[in-house]
Amino acid sequence: MDAVALKGVKKFYHDGEHVIHAVDGVDLTLKSGEFATLAGPSGSGKTTLLNLIGGLDRPDEGEITVAGINTTGKSDDELTRLRLHKIGFVFQAYNLIPVLTVYENIQFVLQIQGVPEAEHRGRILPILERLDMAGFEKRFPTQISGGQQQRVAVARAVAGNPAIVLADEPTANLDSESSSNLMRLMRMLNRENGVTFLFSSHDPLVIDRAERVIRLRDGRIQADERKDSP
């Protein structure tokens, strides 16, 4: 099954008398298990396209299908359920809940998904171990580094077994070593657990590590490059 399929997707914004074509007729298919990035300069449409795929925004034209579900015409509640059960998000600002521990931040997603509590530890602890975060379960976000916080955000994104993880500039607030470690660990999750990743980034390190690079400019796909596995 395709993780994502877009057909003729467009998104317009009005700036006074001008119409800005943030996404302009994008056709794109992402298969399950891919490790891909949307690349391009600021204003190229990367984040807008990621938000459209994630159901955080709606297209003005075209169709978007995520994990076999066509999102066209879905209600806000239906899109919320889609995001909860089919999509994991990793944001550049981490978005961890400061009053919850590392374990509780990840557990929160499982709780709202309705996963039985008896299954929580069995899901959470192996992911933390794979992300080199074993032993940090009881720490709060303020007690760990930025790179570690971003790993917790990745763990939270994948704990719910989503069809795809969308990561918007995930290395933007990290130093080069933390960025490299994060990409290595996400690639491991991709290869060994089959997690599908789609990034939005202009970071050369992210682009270099991606298996597929979809280059955007002015809301359109300029190139779609597949590489040998890095």
Q: List strands edge to edge, sheet with 197-201.
A: 87-91, 164-168, 197-201, 35-39, 212-217, 220-226
Summarised one tens digit per residue, pLDDT across range 45-67 is: 999 999 999 999 999 999 999 99
Summarised one tens digit per residue, pLDDT across range 28-40 is: 999 999 999 999 9
Predicted TM-score (pTM) of this structure: 0.92
pLDDT over threshold 80, residue 228: no
Instruction: Output the CATH code of domain 2-226.
Output: 3.40.50.300
pLDDT over threshold 70, residue 182: yes
pLDDT over threshold 70, residue 193: yes
For tokens 């075209």, the residue is: 62
Contact 12, 173 (CB under 8 A): no
CA distances from 43 to 74, 103, 200, 203, 217 (A): 27, 36, 12, 15, 8
Q: What is the mean pLDDT of the chain?
A: 94
Domain segments of the chain: what residues? 2-226
> Which secondary-structure segment (H or E) carries 164?
strand 164-168
Contact 94, 169 (CB under 8 A): no
Contact 54, 74 (CB under 8 A): no
